[in-house]
Amino acid sequence: MALIRDSDRQGAGIGRRAVLLFGAKLGVVGLLAWRMHQLQVEQADRYRLLADENRINIRLIPPARGLIFDRSGRPLAVNRPNYRIVLIREQAGDPERALDELGRIIEIGDAQRSRVLKEVSQKSAFVPVTVAERLDWEDFARVAANSPVLSGIIPEVGLTRFYPEGDATAHVVGYVGPVSERDLKRQATPDPLLQIPRFQIGKTGVERRLERALRGQAGISRIEVNSLGRVMRELDRNEGKAGQNVQLTLDLPLQRYALTRLAGEAGSAVVMDVRDGSILALASTPTFDPNLFVFGISTENWENLLNDPHRPLADKPVSGAYPPGSTFKMVVALAALEAGLVKPGETVWCPGYIKIGNRRFHCWKRVGHGHVDLRRSLRESCDVYYYEMAQRVGIERITAMARRLGLGSRPPLPLPAIAEGLMPTKAWKERVHGSPWLIGDSVNAGIGQGYVLASPMQLAIMTARLATGRAIVPRLVQSFDDVPVARAEPPDLGIPGEHLKYIRDGMRAAVNHRRGTAHAARIADRSLAMSGKTGTSQVRQITEVERRAGIFRNEDLPWERRDHALFVAYAPVSDPRYAVSVVIEHGGGGARAAAPVARDIMLYALHGGPAPLSAYPEKVRPEIRKRRATPETSPRPPQRDRA
């Protein structure tokens, strides 16, 4: 009986364990079934997407960059095919052998070969490495024709930027270049396009300032890849949106002529249509070829440009800041008229200098001008007259008038590094120099020297405002994708017409009166007569010892110590159409160096091409005829001249 009971108990224990084991197995199977249901049914879409993401890559397609044209539709920046050859190590097998075979068709230099082999060894086997680019069509066609037997060598066609006008528009249009780390840091939210290898963006000029509009929007390519990341096929493609085409207000023939006329000088010229502010020419010399920068400039070329004392990389019309010299005298005269501190017929005695304290401030004419009124002060550029006006008016009124005429503020143009210039005040000097404003500071400012600085662009704006009496604002962009840029009617300056008439009469006499400082540079055609003002700004201090011994002539001084030459003008006098400003660095006298250049550029603008010889004064016609036969390529020696 005892044995039976023990056996029963043992059997019952085994049965319970079996039930528990079966239950545990059933629970595991149920859990697996539930999890499989969850993965395959409830979360199927999620894991299918993850699988697709592992299998499908999305790549950005660079858009075609917008084109840039001049006002008449002439191309200034275009895209052209970039014929290049790439090598894929996986397909080539032996890269050195592949390069040997390719070298029998096109030339491959030793340095080029070493670079390719280095890149091939550093990158994955399926990643293309550029062997050569910017090939001509003949070389590219030969490679393409032989590509079936060139293992791993693949010809490709892309787009690259090209500037058909070269140095003619280098400073205005600018150039593109590869994205740098500095470029990425400047972006608050970098465009993914900037991460594409070899992608190029605007570096200078309009290319830089209008980068967003010109760049366009990236396209998208969905490609299928294998587990190694190798491309298997393209599933679909969206080409994206090309950049906007930009039409500038520049007139290309006039731009070319201005550069030719400035050839050999370190100078600048601005031509503005006074009716709507359109910039027709923005010339800076010497210049450079922007195409050198597109794929990376050589060290030799870069150092040559960087070390040139004439600063070919500087956009002088907008970034240069110069003492405006006597071209500033109209500002001082208007400030005096507005304050009621001078009458047009009132005269000031000019003995050739004035004395303030122990210091003499000299007129450019050592023997003096005698009795000088407002009109004659502009006609013959008497310094003593403006020494007196500056003391009467004071720097605050002078600066206020200068700002109304466009000086001392950055023009709203799509260009980088635009100079603000400097129109000083008493508070400015105290803040910057920690010293009070002196009478001598006002006297220097009265003739556009001392702390006063202006760019050629600002001087052109000033001239356009004097010619029209309106607050003309310069404009460089005419349209985006053929849609004109809206512009507002410029408001009145608020300067009495009578005051402007006095200034205009003085500017007209400065060019057309036989004693005017720019009489030799006048326009002979009276229907196109020009009004203007010369300027000569010193870059060195003339000592009393020099004055007693006789002031050195500019041509006897090193180039960098010679005076700057300036001239501003508008024409025709009766119905102004164009304003011109010319600045020639260390060019000497404004009347001799800058005024003839400005006259020639003005005549070209007025005639829409070379002017007839009859438009020039008879004495200079042989020179004009000779220049047209042999384009000017070197500067004339600058000389000390009337202001």
Active site positions, annotated:
326
Q: Which 3-state string (H, E, C) describes 569-633?
A: EEECCCCCCEEEEEEECCCCCHHHHHHHHHHHHHHHHHHCCCCCHHHCCHHHHHHHHHHHHCCCC
Helix (H, G, I), strand (E, B) or coil at 246: strand
Query: First and final CA of the chain: distance in angstroms?
Result: 142
Report the distance separating Cα 381 and Cα 266, nearest Å: 25
For 262-315, where are the alpha helices, taking DSSP H only? 299-307
∠ at Cα 282 (277, 284), nearest 5°? 155
Q: Are strands 564-571 and 578-584 parallel, antiparallel or unpaired?
A: antiparallel
Please name every residue paired with 129 in a beta bridge, in sequence order, or none if there are none: 87
Q: How many CB atoms lie within 10 A of CB 222?
A: 14
Q: CA nearest 504: which of 268, 261, 271, 274?
A: 274
> For residue 369, what are the CA distances in angstroms to 67, 343, 356, 366, 551?
56, 19, 19, 9, 19
411: exposed, middle or buried (C-beta count within 10 Å: 0-12, 13-18, 19+)? buried
Q: Are strands 246-248 and 231-238 parallel, antiparallel or unpaired?
A: unpaired
Q: CA nearest 283: which of 302, 265, 301, 303?
A: 265
E-strand stretches of 370-468? 370-372
∠ at Cα 465 (473, 68), nearest 5°? 35
The answer to whether 288 and 313 are in contact (CB under 8 A) is yes
Q: CA nearest 172: which of 202, 133, 204?
A: 204
Q: CA nearest 346: which of 385, 382, 383?
A: 385
> For residue 161, what are the CA distances in angstroms to 81, 281, 535?
9, 23, 41
Q: CA nearest 164: which of 226, 36, 78, 48?
A: 78
**Do you find a cis peptide bond into 178, omega within 30 degrees of 0?**
no
> How would DSSP label each residue in 305-344?
HHH-TT-TTS-HHHH--B--GGGGHHHHHHHHHHTT---T
